[in-house]
Structure 1
Amino acid sequence: MNQTDLNTIKQLPSKEERHKLFGSVDPGPRTKPVEKSEMKDLQNAREDFLFDLDAVGISNVKHPIRINSTMKPEIQTTIGTFKFASSIKQGSKGTNMSRFTEQLDQYHNEGFAIDITTLKRFTKELAGRLKQKDSMVEVSYPWFFERKGPFSDLAGMNHADATIKVNYHEETGFDVEVSLTGKITTLCPCSKEISEYSAHNQRGNVTMSIELTDDFNEDEIDWKHQLLEAAESNASARIHPVLKRPDEKAVTEQAYENPRFVEDIVRLVAADLYELPFVTKFYVACRNEESIHLHDAIAEVTYDKRDETN
């Protein structure tokens, strides 16, 4: 069958007629202004609207970003998921939502590298654009890093989920919180203790959130690498993208030699974060995807080092 034969099998109405068939109608009369200066601005209405609002903005905004890393690949592009907000007073009805994405596009055109210094500048400029005293930006993204097999030295890519949150207020300045969720291997100490041979293990998910000191210098310290190391160095074993048989033997034996309860992981990671001089407050959580249960095992801890000086 040739192309001519295919086109003559069914005679369809025109595209315009098809649209009308499925509900499209002709445009009605236009009576409202088309110029922005003549349009009514409901969001900027001023009246008593009952309550101040802590945060108004937009979330789940996906956008390409660039990040730097002290681990290979040292420069990488990835997808950031953004949240933007500011507070508004009782006398304001709303905020100008388009200004959040306006500024995001402006930074993108200038080459948007995601780092704390840039996000501080972003939030301060955003507060000015919104004509508010404060603003907040939060961006989450997958961070990739090279991992080699312990015996073969064959490399592959692992990733962890990173987040930076910056709050700005013109009176108090900046608050910065960073987070990382990475995956580890844990081997059950109880299973090892009671079994004649072997022990069950599972994949653990370690989430760490830290508040940074005012003098934290990201040019000297890669916080992502520091948090990843805190999680992985306290695990039964690290996760690897490429494992040959000698690698698998090494990882399996390492896990057996370093059994960890979920409680152990949280306490050991907390100890490492406590020793980091640029951390003021931290939160650590571990969730183990149990291999012999249908449930997950969890543990969490929050600690504020500033309480020790009060």
Structure 2
Amino acid sequence: MIKNCLKDTQNEKDYRNIDIDNVGIEDLEYPIRIKDKQNQIQSTVAKIKMSVALPKQFRGTHMSRFLEIIHEYFDVISTTKLKEIVQAMLDKFDADESSIEISFPYFIEKEAPVSKIKSFLSYRCRLIAEKKKNFDLILEVTVPIHSFCPCSREISKYGGHNQRGAIKVQVRMNHLILIEELVQLAEESASAEIYSLMKRMDEKYITEKAYENPRFVEDIIREMIIKLEKDDRISWYNVRVKNFESIHNHNAFASHEKWKINL
């Protein structure tokens, strides 16, 4: 029988007496599956960050253990699965705090408004879970949008300037909220939706819809706040709207954060 005689350097005592808040791995690309409203399950590729708090007495962390944990739990990511992952990190590393961030593209099939032609649109999503005394989970979705400037419309003889934008919304939940639901809230708050594939009749519809629904970033974020306040499943939200300005050499933004319940 061959014994493992390799020196465990990470477990060596450290005498500098310094705790480290976060030690771990990041930019790990890994296949995952996410619950999908249309198809039940969607496969995608995630970029993962995992970390634990390192007590002052240990010199280092066994980084390979992060990979062991994610491979064990990577199948279908859910709230329950994330709770298991952060708890497994606490147990495996004998740590007091653990966290994981999973960033991934999420695809929704959309139907163009007039031609009804279908295509997929990508949304950037992130799950942020951590375990200290309690489990905490944030769902983040970034939604591409179309906005039309109200000021430009009022001061111009015809037309006005359009731009793409993005709404990034983060929520803490009392009950499950689907990615598609946050996407819908964001798209309804903009001047118009974005589509990957459109015909001329769709382009006409979208540009005219935006013209009839002009909104500043301030208008968009207020519309989002109204919708988020009405949803009792949301205990906290952080929303940020950004316009990629088409006639300026800068971008415009608005942001707002709120706890809806006192903890």
Q: Please indicate the TM-score interval, normalised by the length of the shorter structure.
A: over 0.9
> 2:145 — aligned with what?
184
Match of 2:172 in 1: 211
Give 1:85's aligned residue: 51
Residues 250-302 of structure 1 show CA distances to partners (whole Å, capped at 9, x for unaligned) of 11111011101011112211221122112111111111111111211111111
In the TM superposition, what are the counterparts of 1:243-262 in structure 2 within 5 Å?
243-262=198-217
Equivalent of 1:242, from 187, 197, 219?
197
Correspondence 1:68 to 2:23: no
Matched, 1:229 2:205: no
> What are the Cα deviations for residues 20-69 of structure 1, in whole angstroms up to 9, with x where unaligned?
xxxxxxxxxxxxxxx87322222112233332111110000000111121
Note closer, same or farther for the CA distance 1:303–1:192 as it changes in structure 2 (3 Å cut): same
Aligned residues between the structures: 262
Taking the aligned partners of 2:58 and 2:3, their CA distance within structure 1 comes to 20
CA gap 1:251/1:36 in 2 versus in 1, 3 angstroms: farther
Q: What secondary structure is seen at the aligned counterpart in 1 of 2:48?
A: strand
Deviations 1:193-240 (A, max 9, x none): 111111111000111111223xx2x3xx41x11211111001000001
Correspondence list, 1:1-310, <5 A: 37-71=4-38, 73-108=39-74, 112-169=75-132, 172-213=133-174, 216=175, 218=176, 221-222=177-178, 224-306=179-261, 309=262
Are the counterparts in 2 of residues 150 and 250 from structure 1 also a CA contact under 8 Å? yes
Greater Rg by CA: 1
> Can you give the 5+ residue segments of structure 2 that lack an aligned partner in the other structure?
none
Runs of 4+ in 1 over 4 A off after TM superposition: none
| Counterpart for residue 23 of structure 1 | none
Question: Structure 1 stretches of 5 or more lacking a match?
Answer: 1-34
Read off the aligned partner of 1:296 and give its amino acid letter. Answer: N
Contact 2:138–2:171 at 8 Å: present in 1 too?
A: yes
Counterpart CA distance in 1 for 2:195 and 2:218 is: 23
Query: 1:176 offset after TM fit, Å?
Result: 0.6
CA distance, structure 1, for counterparts of residue 155 and residue 22 of structure 2: 52
Q: CA RMSD in A?
A: 1.6
Alignment check: 8 A CA contact 2:189 2:224 kept: yes
